[in-house]
Amino acid sequence: MQMSGAQMVCEAIIAEGVKTVFGYPGGAIMHVYDEIYKQDGFEHILTRHEQAAVHAADGYARATGEVGVAMVTSGPGFTNAVTGLATAYMDSIPLVVISGQVPLSLIGTDGFQEIDAVGISRPCTKHNFLVRSLEELPRILKEAFYLARSGRPGPILVDIPKDITVDIGEFNYPDSVHIPSYKPTYKGNNRQIEKAVEAIKKAKKPLLYIGGGAVLSNAYKLIRELAEKTQIPAVETLMARGVMGAKNPLLLGMLGMHGNYASNMAMSETDLIISLGARFDDRVTGKLSEFAKYADIIHVDIDPANIAKLVDVDYPIVGDVSTVLKKMLPLLDDVNTARYQAWRDILKRYDELHPQSYVDSDEVIKPQWAIERLGELVGEDAIITSDVGQHQMWAAQHYPFDRPRQWINSGGLGTMGFGLPAAIGAKRAYPEKTVINITGDGSILMNVQELITAAEYKVPVINVILNNHFLGMVRQWQTFFYEKRYSETDLSFQPNWKALAEACGGIGYDVTTKEEFDAALEDAIKQNKVCFMNVAVNRFENVLPMVPAGGALFNMMLPPKTEENGGEK
């Protein structure tokens, strides 16, 4: 069928089953927007910044497991989108981002709004394309979706010169993809799997180390089955919260820089790490030479480059976590669960010794209380997104995540401003679910313009701002490591949050007491409008436990058991 390049873009998006596209028009992408206007195969959400468009597509992808799609124009439209691409890249999120480019004849001439998009995005995309002719456009679009979702997922950029969107040609959307140089391994080597199973049976202190790959692979049922069957305790990374389910007795908690005591001690003392879709990030391992010194390592990862990148691995298994576990589980029928009883007892004692705790207050709302209260009030029904900083860590520590894809945050890149647009994307995917963005008074301002988007499209996401009038995580480091010189972290000068929300068509709540917190949340859910819950929290609360950067995982600063007298308030 004859059609323009712009139409081909729309037809491909429809053929891929995409229902929602997030984006922002501009000169070089206008022909595509003209076709968007004419079609009714998908809806387009106009964010108010290109970065937010990509984050919204990202939130949509994380919530659903499907490919998210964003569309931006050339030059500044594209450069604004780069942070979104990098965020998705670091967390292996499947996205297709389509950017306009100046016409082919102008490429390389420093034309208006020209920038080398494929050059800039090369290190922060799984792959990218500059379309050079109309003939290759259908194939490239097909490959983009395939590459985004297959193997280790990731964002793909398709940069399309404006004249190609105008040209008319034959559209045959390919049924299949043929990229001979790209063959991801899903299956996992049988011999290696058998060896790993033997190691599990011989271990005394095995530990399941679950990462974001378990979420991407939709492996949570198999992982819960593995834990149940073997009675091996488990720790989750920041990206894997919800895989085991908060109520699972075998879950020790989150490990790493802000992991709980039992999790970090388990990792330090285990004799066999069973790593499922985790990548031994520096925020997880702490000082590498002290990391899991007594452990052999089984590393299951779909990306061979992750294996033996940072730690030596004894049982490398390149494959998809789900596929590998399906092979592994039957081999563990005769596992002796009693073998690990002593180990479970030790870890239980560790958890009793230093549970994940904080000292609550009657005078001021503690941020941890706010998170736990959210968990009590909306719990497993809600989808929680977050920005980056203290609030993110408290949410990861204290929210009772019950299922994967319930917790959406920027782990690898740590992008402030991610939460609100990601929440919009998640809410668009699941309009019936309560979607809450847990954020801080620093982060929320980094994409605050998206209030307008949420109001216009009636996407009622609830933004719980844990407001400590500080750039809290940096302030915490300054307290601990910079002799309390609070360089440029005091955010005392603030907007009127309520008025700001209202100015954009939302609702604002100022919350200073626990009663107000409950009332505001109840009203926010009822009102069904985008809102700010501006929650005044204890200014100098710290995220604990904490492993100082570069320190050994077992050397944690632990939370106080009672309120410290004379502490900063």
Partner 1 sequence: MSDTNTRRVISVIVMNESSVLARVTSMFAARGYNIESLTVAPIPNSDKSHITIETQGNARVMEQITKQLHKLIPVYKVIEHEEMVEKEMVLVKFPIAENLSDIASLASAYNGGIVNVGKEMVVAQVADEPRRVKHFIEAAERYNPCEIVRGGVVAIER
Q: Does 147 bind partner 1 (CB under 8 A)?
A: yes
Q: Does 41 bind partner 1 (CB under 8 A)?
A: no
Q: Does 174 bind partner 1 (CB under 8 A)?
A: no
Q: Does 349 bind partner 1 (CB under 8 A)?
A: no
Q: Are 343 and 205 contacting, i.e. CB atoms less than 8 angstroms apart?
A: yes
Residue 78 Cβ vs partner 1, minimum distance, rounded to whole Å: 16
Q: Does 180 bind partner 1 (CB under 8 A)?
A: yes
Q: Are 316 and 192 contacting, i.e. CB atoms less than 8 angstroms apart?
A: yes
Q: For 97-219, where are the alpha helices, taking DSSP H only?
A: 117-121, 137-149, 162-166, 190-202, 212-216
Q: What secondary structure does DSSP assign to 235-301, as a single string?
A: EE-GGGTTSS-TT-TTEEEE-STT--HHHHHHHHH-SEEEEES----HHHHBSGGGTTTT-EEEEEE
Judged by CB under 8 A, which of 202, 204, 293, 309 binds partner 1? 309
Residue 489 Cβ vs partner 1, minimum distance, rounded to whole Å: 30
Burial grade of 518 (CB within 10 A; 0-12, 13-18, 19 or more): middle
Q: Does 566 bind partner 1 (CB under 8 A)?
A: no
Residues 165, 158, 72: CA angle, nearest 5 degrees: 75
Q: Does 182 bind partner 1 (CB under 8 A)?
A: yes
**3-state SS assignment for residue 88:** helix
Q: Which is nearer to partner 1, 34 or 116 (CB)?
A: 116
Of 55-63, 84-92, 121-129, 379-387, the window that binds partner 1 (rule: CB under 8 A) is 121-129
Q: What residues between 123 and 142 interact with partner 1 by CB under 8 A?
A: 123, 126-127, 130, 132
Map residues 66-105 to x or -, x wherever contact with partner 1 holds by CB under 8 A: ----------------------------------------
Q: Does 305 bind partner 1 (CB under 8 A)?
A: yes
DSSP 415: -
**Residue 123, C-beta contacts closer than 8 angstroms, at least 6 positions apart:** none
How far apart (Å, rounded) are the C-alpha atoms in residues 262 and 231?
16
Of 2-10, 299-307, 327-335, 425-433, the window that binds partner 1 (rule: CB under 8 A) is 299-307
Of 304-312, 412-420, 421-429, 455-463, the window that binds partner 1 (rule: CB under 8 A) is 304-312
User: Residue 406: how many CA atoms within 13 Å on its side-chain side?
Assistant: 22
Which phi-psi region, left, alpha or beta, contains residue 218 (left: φ > 0; alpha: ψ -120 to 50)? left
How far apart (Å, rounded) are the C-alpha atoms in residues 190 and 187?
8
Residue 473 Cβ vs partner 1, minimum distance, rounded to whole Å: 26
Q: For 316-405, where are the alpha helices, taking DSSP H only?
A: 321-331, 341-353, 367-377, 390-398
Q: Are 193 and 25 contacting, i.e. CB atoms less than 8 angstroms apart?
A: no
By annotation, the residues acting in catalysis are 50, 112-113, 162, 473
Bridge partners of 537?
365
Q: Which is nearer to partner 1, 229 or 309 (CB)?
A: 309
Residue 289 Cβ vs partner 1, minimum distance, rounded to whole Å: 13
Q: Does 303 bind partner 1 (CB under 8 A)?
A: yes
Q: Does 484 bind partner 1 (CB under 8 A)?
A: no
Q: Does 162 bind partner 1 (CB under 8 A)?
A: no
Judged by CB under 8 A, which of 312, 352, 376, 522 binds partner 1? 312
Instruction: Give me the residues that bind partner 1 (CB under 8 A), please.
Output: 118-119, 122-123, 126-127, 130, 132, 147, 179-182, 303-305, 307-309, 312
